[in-house]
Amino acid sequence: MQKTILITGGSRGIGAATALLAAQKGYQVCINYVANKEAALQVVETIHQQGGKAFAFQADVSSEEDVIALFEAIDPIGPITALVNNVGILEPQMRVDTMTADRLNRVFTTNIVSCFLCTREAIKRMSTKQGGSGGSIVNVSSVAARTGSPGEYVDYAASKGAMDAMTIGVSKEVAEEGIRVNGVRPGFIYTDIHASGGEPGRVDRIKGSVPMKRGGSPDEVAKAILWLLSDEASYSTGTFIDIAGGR
Ligand code: NAP
């Protein structure tokens, strides 16, 4: 059976690296983006040049309407067999005592409500109890779920803690329905996300605090995601791989 994967936020960073590796492993790749069409089309083009199949879909995954439309747009391509809930945002660094409700709503809606919505749509299509053939889901969390990101982004860290609880809970709900749900927790990875938090050079500033004394690459995270999605991880569900250089 043709394997079809959806990677939310697949246009850049960890999502783009996951898309390229998934194509190399024989998946039809559907990537989602919110604004950067050019970056998404570049990922699709690279996969096409390597002989793979790829499609890009614009959708804001924090919008329920957009998520429903996204999954309906993918339905004709093939039954979705893998989902990577990869979208995550950071807002500028600040302490909790200065965070507004608008910011908190944006971070929680984009980072965790989106994960519930995409997982719901995937389960409807994958569950053997609902006529599907099973599947595998990986949630891209963060070591921030463990550290709390004090002085920087406690809201972001809390959204990732919620993601980890959701991963454990939903994995048990669907374990008998042919669906495995796992998570990865990256540490400091070289992507654009740090610039959106106001500090493009953040990884280099703090890499000395990592036991391995370096930041990670998107590709190192992608490899763990693809392993968890694969049959190699067939007896693993509700579990996590930290990719954080020992942090
Ligand atoms: P990134 O480089 O900033 O890329 C973010 C991706 O998400 C882009 O493809 C972006 O699309 C998309 N996106 C953002 N908001 C969206 C929305 N509302 N709807 C749909 N797509 C949206 O991020 P990254 O560093 O690769 O992070 C990926 C995941 O890893 C996140 O969940 C992040 O929290 C997690 N993580 C990252 C690190 C790290 O150090 N980088 C560490 C731990 C965890 P556009 O291109 O259209 O903007």
CATH number at residue 37: 3.40.50.720
Q: Does the annotation mark 33 as catalytic?
A: no
Query: What residues pair up with 5 in beta bridges, in sequence order?
Result: 29, 82
Q: What confidence tens digit (pLDDT) does each residue in 186-242 have?
A: 999 999 999 988 999 999 999 999 999 999 999 999 999 999 999 999 999 999 999
CB of 139 within 6 A of ligand 1: the answer is no
Q: What confidence tens digit (pLDDT) does each residue in 6-29 have?
A: 999 999 999 999 999 999 999 999
Token match 């809930």: residue? Answer: 85
CB of 140 within 6 A of ligand 1: the answer is yes
Q: 88 C-alpha to center of ligand 1: Å?
A: 5
Structure tokens at 124: 């409807």
Counting the structural domains of the chain, the total is: 1
pLDDT in the model for residue 126: 98
* Per annotation, catalytic residue among 27, 33, 153, 156: 156
| pTM of structure | 0.98
Write out the residue range of the structural domain in which residue 207 sits: 4-243
pLDDT in the model for residue 197: 87
Atom 12 in ligand 1: residue holding the nearest Cα: 9
CB 84 within 8 A of CB 15: yes
Atom 13 in ligand 1: residue holding the nearest Cα: 9
Nearest to 170 by CA among 212, 124, 207: 124
